[in-house]
Amino acid sequence: MSDKQGRNDSCWCGSGRKYKKCHALIEEKMAIYRSKACEVPPLGLLKTQQQIQGIRDSGKLNIDLLDFIGDYVVAGVTTGELDRLIYEKTGELGGIPATLNYNGYPKSVCISINDVVCHGIPSERVILRSGDIANIDVSTIYNGFFSDSSRMFCVGDVSAEKQRLVDVAKECMELGIEQIKPWGFLGDVGQAVHDHARKNGYSVVREIGGHGIGLQFHEDPWVSYVSKQGTGMLLVPGLVFTVEPMINMGKAGTATDERDNWTVYTADGEPSAQWEKTVLVTETGYEILAY
């Protein structure tokens, strides 16, 4: 983009600033990191102001859907019913559920209960019971822009042990997000998540991670939550990705259901918890686009 653009022209990103006062500076800095053999994102991953607004609007819808579904998460409801509610509400709000028919995924939401780590498929045969912890993972396409976030819901009376897992998993996500700043590294996020989980006696799922998002459901970078500080992709303003660590009460290992090829369980049958936000790297830190 730099070669098509004069230094006094307004920047391609839509900031309203001259290129020389905006991405010329950012691109110069990226070149310095590249020369030091850092993993620098391609310019195409950096969102324009217009794209950011699109993802923000999509994220607003995603937030509204999670706020909406909360009232229905009670003992006795089937996850199939919750899926139907999400499907209908998404349509009412003018969006499309991003998971529906995605790589053959059959439903509008993922609902993962207890020892299900992620990608639980809603079903009329799965009934929520008091004591369950459930992750509800909603993702939306709105005006062509993608957003993705998830929350844990505690059904009825949940044991103190499971409640602590849910709380610590949330702290892990939050501590990871607090690491996000321009010219930091993606590995800073994973290190903070992993440290906090281990300090609390939990483990972090290694083989499933977060992802870039915005123009597509899953973009680069892939986001590990067991990564090391100062490693991985350079964080540059305009990058958008999810922070969604999966925290296991027992061991980190997982197994995928051989019948549906989607549902991921903990290998040891112990519970797992996950929270997810879609986050933008800004010039001063970060902005949450969906939670």
Examine residue 136 and tell whether it contacts ligand MF3 (CB under 6 A).
no
Using CB under 6 A as the binding rule, whether residue 185 contacts ligand MF3 is answered as: no
Name the residue with the smallest CB distance to ligand MF3.
105
State the first-to-last Cα distance of the chain, in angstroms, to the nearest integer.
Answer: 32
Q: Are 58 and 93 in contact (CB under 8 A)?
A: no
Residues 74-103 that bind ligand MF3 (CB under 6 A): 99, 102-103
Residues that bind Co ion (CB under 5 A): 148, 242
| 284 CB burial (10 A radius; 0-12, 13-18, 19+) | exposed
Token digits of residue 146: 């993608």
Q: Which does 132 bind (CB under 5 to 8 A by kind): Co ion, ligand MF3, none?
A: none
Give Rg (Cα) of the chain. 20
In angstroms, the CA 138 to CA 261 distance is 19
Q: Given candidates 137, 176, 202, 223, which one binds ligand MF3 under the rule CB under 6 A? A: 137
Nearer to ligand MF3, 119 or 277 (CB): 119
Under DSSP, the state recorded for 122 is: P
Residue 10 CB, shortest distance to ligand MF3, in Å, is: 35
Of 30, 73, 82, 110, the one binding ligand MF3 by CB under 6 A: 110
Q: Does 108 bind ligand MF3 (CB under 6 A)?
A: no
Task: Give dist(CA 102, CA 113) in Å, integer.
Answer: 21
Q: Which residues of the chain form contacts with ligand MF3 (CB under 6 A)? A: 99, 102-103, 105, 110, 119, 137, 139, 148, 244, 262
